[in-house]
Amino acid sequence: MKFGVDIGHNCPPDTGASGIRFEDNLTLDVGTRVISKLQALGHQVIPCKPNSAGSVRESLAKRCDKANSNKVDIYVSIHFNSFNGQANGTEVFAGGETSRKIAKPVLDEFVKLGFFNRGVKSGSHLYVLRNTNMPAILVEGCFLDSQKDMNLYNPEAIANAIVQGLTGKLPTTPVNPVPDEEQNADATVLRLQKTLNQLKITDKNGKPLVEDGLAGSATSSAVAKFQKIIGITETGNADQATWNAINVILAKRIIRPNHAGGPVIRYIQYRLGVEVDGVYGPQTEGVVKNFQKQNGLVADGIIGPASWQKLL
Ligand SMILES: [Zn+2]
C-alpha cells in the first residue's frame, strides 16, 4: 500500500493549537513514528507536510497536491484537538463510505488506550478531506488541553494505534526509537555535570564543570545557578524539580511567542540575556528574532529545531 501521511501543521503560518501541550509537537512526534512503522511493515509512505507555505490555505493545498500527484492509496492526516479543557477523547473524520471503513478501526485502537470514543464523524467540511482524491481520514488523536487526555498521551502507543488501525499489524521490532528526554531517568552526578555544561551553566567561578561524576561545591554552585534561572529554590541539590526542568529543556520543544511559559522560556531568556520572567512577550520575541538573524536563521521568533541547535 502507498500511504500519504500528513503530519498536521508544523508549517508556519500553519501552526497548531496549544493547551497543556502544543499540537505541532504532538503531531510531529506521533507522525514521525507512524511513518517509520508503516515503512517497517513494507508500505510505501509519502510524507505530505510541506516545508514552507505562505498561508494556511497554501499549506493545506500543498498537502493535498502531494497526496494526489503521488496517487497514494490512503491519505491520513494527524491532528490533536483543543476545546475548553474539559472535552476529551478521540474522533476520526472521514470523507465518504470507504473512508469511514478505514476510520473505524483506527478509532477503535485509540479507545483501547483509554480515550473516550467521540465517534467517526463526517469530514466533508475539512479542506484536506475535500481536496484529496483517495479515501482519506483525519485523526483528532485526543485533546491537548485536557489533563485526562494528556495523562494518557504516549506518542509510541498512539502511533501504534494508528498503524494497527490502518494495517491490522505492527512492526515486530521497534523502529527508530525517538529518545524522549522528558522521560530520561538518569540522575547521576556525571549526567548532571555533562548536562549543565551542555546548557552552558558554569560554576561559581564562571568555569565549565569538570565531568568527573563527583559531587562537589563547583557542581552544586552550578546547580544553584540553574535553579535561580528557572525560578525554583536554590538548594544546590539536583532534586526532582531541577531534573524535570533540565529534561523539559533538553526535549527542545517548539516554542512560540505568547504561548510558552515556565522553565524553558526562563532558560532561553537567560541564554539570550533578556530579563528572566518566564513570559514570552514582545521583548523576548525581539531578542529571539535578533538571535535568529545573527545565526543566519529565519527570524520568525519561533524556536524550532534550527534555533535549538544553535542554543544547545
Ligand atoms: Zn490541527
pLDDT, averaged per 10 consecutive residues of the chain (312 residues), comes to: 96 91 93 94 95 93 98 97 93 94 97 96 92 97 95 94 96 61 79 95 95 94 96 93 89 76 89 90 93 94 89 91
According to the model, what pLDDT value does residue 148 have? 94
pTM: 0.62
* Torsion of Cα atoms, 283 then 284 then 288 then 289, to 10°: -30
How far away, in angstroms, is 185 Cα from ligand 1 center?
A: 31
How far away, in angstroms, is 143 Cα from ligand 1 center?
A: 11
How far away, in angstroms, is 23 Cα from ligand 1 center?
A: 7
How far away, in angstroms, is 82 Cα from ligand 1 center?
A: 9
Map grid coordinates 522528558 to a residue. 182
According to the model, what pLDDT value does residue 179 have? 56
Q: For residue 164, what is its C-alpha cell?
A: 494497527
How far away, in angstroms, is 226 Cα from ligand 1 center?
A: 35
How far away, in angstroms, is 191 Cα from ligand 1 center?
A: 36
How far away, in angstroms, is 26 Cα from ligand 1 center?
A: 10
C-alpha 282/C-alpha 288 separation (Å) is: 10
According to the model, what pLDDT value does residue 252 have? 82
Every domain of the chain with CATH number 3.40.630.40 lies at: 2-167
How far away, in angstroms, is 11 Cα from ligand 1 center?
A: 11
According to the model, what pLDDT value does residue 214 have? 92
Contact 51, 78 (CB under 8 A): no
According to the model, what pLDDT value does residue 251 have? 81
C-alpha 210/C-alpha 219 separation (Å) is: 8
How far away, in angstroms, is 80 Cα from ligand 1 center?
A: 6
How far away, in angstroms, is 86 Cα from ligand 1 center?
A: 18
CA atoms within 13 A on the CB side of 55: 3
Question: Which architecture characterizes domain 181-311 according to CATH?
Answer: Orthogonal Bundle (1.10)
Every domain of the chain with CATH number 1.10.101.10 lies at: 181-311
According to the model, what pLDDT value does residue 260 have? 60
How far away, in angstroms, is 117 Cα from ligand 1 center?
A: 18
How far away, in angstroms, is 16 Cα from ligand 1 center?
A: 5
How far away, in angstroms, is 250 Cα from ligand 1 center?
A: 25
How far away, in angstroms, is 45 Cα from ligand 1 center?
A: 21
What is 2-167's CATH number?
3.40.630.40
